[in-house]
Structure 1
Amino acid sequence: MIDKVLGFIKKNKMIECGDKIVVGFSGGPDSTALLHVLDRLKEELNIEIFAVHINHMIRGEEASRDEEFSRKFCKRFNIPFYSFRIDVLKMAKEMGLSSEEAGRVARYDSFDMVLRKVGANKIALAHNKNDQAETVIMKFLRGAGLKGISGISPVRDNIIRPILICTREEIEKYCIENALNPVIDSTNEEAIYLRNKVRLQLMPYIKENINENIIDSLFRMADIFRDEEGYMETQSINEFKRLNRDGWIEIDSFLNLHIALKRRIIRHMIKEVKGDLNAIENIHIEECLNLIQRNETGKSVILPKGLVGEISYGRFRIKISENKDEVEYKLEIPGEIYSSEFKIKVVAEIIEINENLIETQFIKFFDYDKIKGDILLRNRREGDFIYPKGMNGRKKLKDLFIDKKIQKDERDRIPLIAINNEILWAYNIRDTKNYKIDNNTKRVLKIKIERG
């Protein structure tokens, strides 16, 4: 299996010499095999690996067992280990998400936190060939387009999936042969979620009655669709760039295109404004197309998440509704303030330099004597910028939000600690490398954010 994974890594150019890779490690068979394979390949590939485990605090003693197994496994193989305990159900309630969505946010936030802490550049996840087949079927059942039924990509941005080429049976056999003894999540055997129903009921039926090689067939099909999706995406991006005039497109030129390109261009326009396509469905794309076809100046269509599509003198654009409320509080030092808009309490105090200065997601430290001007708690403003930790130079806050894939309609709801237009801390996103503690620091400003 190691040779198979190595070939897949090379074919998809997943890893380069010197990479530092954060590995998602639940302790189950897939992630255990992935971590073990990468550990055995680390000298040949000249890489460093770091295991990250997230306890979602949902499965009680079983989750604690998984965390302890993961810790001991990494100690056994001398792999750097980071674990997080996150109350996902509480997080889901606070953020208005499903438990699955909140769990995903918690995992990626934790991966990103460790990635920045250790200076890593990639995240390895343990999806396998069966996961790919199940995803394709689920997307098909939900009426997805070409992109959806292209399934899981081996490489997306800085995320890699080295064992996507391996079946679940191969992975379980590898774990047995290498005496890895992974833990088993009992909820995987419960046909509650759609994926579990596909895995436990639909796939066995298809294998027994229709196509015993359904896993490989769907894997090959996803590869073909992904190649064709890539070509179509490139074509549509080129057309979008050709038509785009400061966010507007000329309707006459647009109407001459094939319908497949038209749909994709509308999606690009939405993504350009919103940052992603969450909550956008085919019906919304069709509403935009119908509006463009009528080409009546002053007409518009309301889209999800505060977006609007509008026509003006033979041109069409997507914009966000202009109903922004500015939020701003002056932070007294020492002192505390409560923001009903952000639903947070911010506590500021001056502490001694010799105290234990451990930063967390909720606590940041600054050299107080380097700060000139009032410190504000507010939402974003035009011209905001930050000198982000782990990055070179100055960056527009807008560009940071784009890089972090923060939805356009969520950006005004992110609490910011700022001096004029300089951002010291974009909560849960990034903080500044300016005003850092050094040997000359005399007074330390501690800022703590509490939810609720």
Structure 2
Amino acid sequence: MLEKFKNHLDQNFPHLYGKKLLLTVSGGIDSVVLVHLCKKIQLEIGVAHCNFQLRDTESDEDELFVQELCTQYNIPIFIQKFSTSDYAVQRKLSTQLAARELRYNWFNEIIENNNYDYIVTAHHLDDQIETFLINLTRGTGLEGLTGIPEQNDKIIRPLLIFSRNEIENFANKNQIDWREDSSNASDKYLRNKIRHAVVPVLKQLNPSFLTSFQETLNHLKQSVELVEDVTAIMYERIVTQLDHKIQINIEELLKLKNYKSYLYQWLKEYGFTAWDDIYNLPYAQSGKQVFSNSYILLKDRNYLLLSPKEKEELKESFFINENLKNHKVPLNLSFCNISYISNSDNNIIFVDEDKLQFPLEIRKKKEGDSFYPSGMNGKKKLSKYFKDEKYSLLEKEEQWLLVSNNEIVWVIGKRADQRFLANENTQNTLKIELK
């Protein structure tokens, strides 16, 4: 398993080497094996352990076990106790959703405050199967059937290629101790019911079920990519973006055999739930509207128009004078003259102030915008950059730009323009930080 793990990282996650990784460790067999594997190949790791205080003394014993494990291997550890039940009641969430929200908010705080690069979890192949079946029972769309992604932004799941049986064999062979969560034996939760009653039957019916499932998952992922490509092509043909509005040509839309599927793909990012009303909207009278929390979809003669609610409150541009050190609307930006260049990240850039023309402008994208992305060669259209970075429709509309004399200085929080960055010859270095 160790060799398979290392080969998997070499082929699919080479960017993890040399990075600081925060492992989420409960004390169960999966996360403890993950710690051992990462230590064996000498990755730089820290551990985060959540005590949700849901199992009385058992939760405290898990915490002590993980603490001793980290002491044994000289691993930095972060421990947090949560009043999970109280939080769930306050937020009107299930206990599982409350625990998830608490832990990931805390994990993100740790990596931001302690310079970790990625969060690494111990989800494995059997978790994939259970998630697939849960989503299947809930009538999810195609995306829900592709399971848990191996990487989602800063969250990495390198054990998804391993079955629970492989992990147990590795632990037993290497005499690794772990903690058993007593709640895993209960069928109170849907996941446990599937784990105990459904998956064993599938494995019994097909001894090669895990291999077949992995192949099916790969086919589904390819299908999702195909759907995304086709919907993007048709979007370019049928949809027009006008300032803060999106305009869908109804005549062209209805020429599509599966127009409902295209509408769903184009509009799913905007929070709509009344899909039957949306699918009927092309045939409705002009003026008919469908609402989400933040958007309005309007039938306007031959078009469907998508626009934000309270559009009149939106301002297109904000200007920054040369003597302003802090700017709080629409984003909290700070400006500071410094004599050195330190490490930058997505939220900090160092620019040559002499190359800027004040007032600077903060605005959204415009037709024809282009820039010279740092770390890349040459010029790129902003629309192409958004596509390559897999921006959703909503993310494209919400992305702010820092602009000097109509030239993009910074896709704020994402990528700087190479032309404006400070270097060893810069006389006046300006640090710009997104707070």
Normalised by the length of structure 2, the TM-score is 0.69
* 3-state SS, counterpart of residue 180 of structure 2: coil
* Cα distance change of structure 1 residues 244 and 190 upon mapping to structure 2, 3 Å threshold: farther
Aligned pair 1:315/2:310, yes or no? Answer: no
Residue among 265, 270, 275 paired with 1:285: 275
Structure 1 pair 257–191 and aligned structure 2 pair: CA distance change class (3 A): same
CA, structure 1 residues 86+241, in 2 after alignment: closer, same or farther (shift >3 Å)?
A: farther
CA positional deviation for 1:138: 1.7
Q: 1:12 to 1:230 in 2, by over 3 A?
A: farther
- For 2:230 and 2:236, locate their aligned partners in 1 and report how far apart those are by CA, in whole Å: 10
CA-CA distance at 1:166 after TM superposition: 0.8
1:223 equivalent to 2:218? Answer yes
Task: Please state if 1:257 is matched with 2:280.
Answer: no
Matches within 5 A, 1:429-448: none
Corresponding residue for 2:191? 195
Kindly provide the CA deviation profile for residues 71-97 of structure 1, in whole angstroms up to 9, marking residues without a partner as x.
111111111111111112221222222
Structure 2 counterparts to residues 106-185 of structure 1, below 5 A = 106-185=102-181
**Residue aligning to 1:335:** none
Native 8 Å contact 2:51 2:82 kept in 1: yes
2: CA distance, partners of 1:312 / 1:16: 50
Structure 1 position 383 matched with structure 2 position 330? yes
Distance 1:66 1:290, change over 3 A: same
Cα distance, 1:61 vs. partner? 0.8
SS at match of 1:308: strand
Q: Are residues 91 and 318 of structure 1, via their aligned partners in 2, closer, same or farther at CA, if it must alter by over 3 Å?
A: farther
Contiguous gaps of at least 5 residues in structure 1: 275-279, 326-370, 374-380, 412-432, 437-452
Q: Distance in 2 between matches of 1:172 and 1:109?
A: 30
What is the CA-CA distance between 1:5 and the residue it aligns to?
1.6
Question: Residue type of the partner of 1:73?
Answer: L
Question: Residue in 2 aligned with 1:331?
Answer: none
What does 1:14-413 align with in structure 2 at a 5 Å threshold? 15-42=15-42, 47-208=43-204, 210-242=205-237, 243-246=239-242, 247-259=246-258, 262-271=260-269, 273-274=270-271, 284-292=274-282, 294=283, 296-303=285-292, 305=293, 307-322=295-310, 383-387=330-334, 391-393=347-349
Give 2:413's aligned residue: none
Identify the residue that residue 12 of structure 1 maps to in structure 2.
12
Q: Which AA in structure 1 matches 2:174?
A: N
Q: Which amino acid aligns with 1:138?
A: I
Contact 1:136 1:218 in 2 (8 A): no
Separation in structure 2 between the aligned mates of residue 435 and residue 301 of structure 1, nearest angstrom: 35
Query: Amino acid of the residue matched to residue 254 of structure 1?
Result: L
Q: Is 1:12–1:154's contact at 8 Å kept on the other side of the alignment?
A: no
Please give the alpha-carbon distance, in whole angstroms, between the structure 2 residues aligned to 1:7 and 1:256.
48
Residue 180 of structure 1: CA displacement?
A: 2.2
SS at match of 1:36: helix
The Cα RMSD (Å) is 3.6
SS of 1:53's partner is strand
Kindly state the Cα deviation for residue 161 of structure 1 after the two structures are TM-superposed: 1.0
Describe the SS at the equivalent of 1:15: helix
Write the letter of the residue equivalent to 2:348. Answer: N
Unaligned runs of 5+ in 2: 314-323, 336-343, 351-360, 366-389, 399-431
TM-score by length of 1: 0.67
Distance 1:103 1:5, change over 3 A: same
The amino acid of 1:9's aligned partner reads L
**Alpha-carbon distance in structure 2 between the residues aligned to 1:297 and 1:262:** 19
Q: Cα distance, 1:108 vs. partner? A: 1.0
Aligned with 1:72: secondary structure? helix
Offset at residue 372 of structure 1 (A): 10
Question: Given residue 34 of structure 1, which amino acid in structure 2 is its aligned partner?
Answer: L
Distance 1:312 1:166, change over 3 A: same
User: What secondary structure, in the 3-state scheme, does the structure 1 residue paired with 2:158 have?
Assistant: coil
**Aligned 8 A contact 1:27 1:66 in 2:** yes
28-37 or 90-99, larger mean C-alpha shift: 90-99
Indicate if the aligned counterparts of 1:54 and 1:110 stay in contact, CA closer than 8 A.
no
The answer (yes or no) to whether the contact 1:155–1:161 under 8 Å persists in 2 is yes
Distance in 1 separating the partners of 2:434 and 2:199 = 56
Task: Give the match's secondary structure for 2:23.
Answer: strand
The C-alpha deviation readout for 1:245-283, integer Å capped at 9, x for no partner, is 132222223223341x75244343341x45xxxxx65xx
Aligned residue for 1:82, secondary structure, equals strand
Say if 1:174 and 1:435 are closer, same or farther in 2 by CA, change over 3 A: closer
Report the alpha carbon displacement of residue 29 of structure 1 after superposing the two structures with TM.
0.5
Letter in 1 for 2:226: Y
Q: Distance in 1 between matches of 2:102 and 2:159?
A: 23
Q: Which residue does the alignment assign to 1:450?
A: none
3-state SS in 1 of match to 2:296 = strand
CA gap of 1:262–1:113, structure 2 versus 1, over 3 A, is same
Give the direction of change, closer, same or farther, for the CA distance of 1:123–1:434 in structure 2 (3 Å limit).
closer
CA contact (8 A) 1:240 1:265 kept: no
Task: Give the partner amino acid of 2:21.
Answer: I
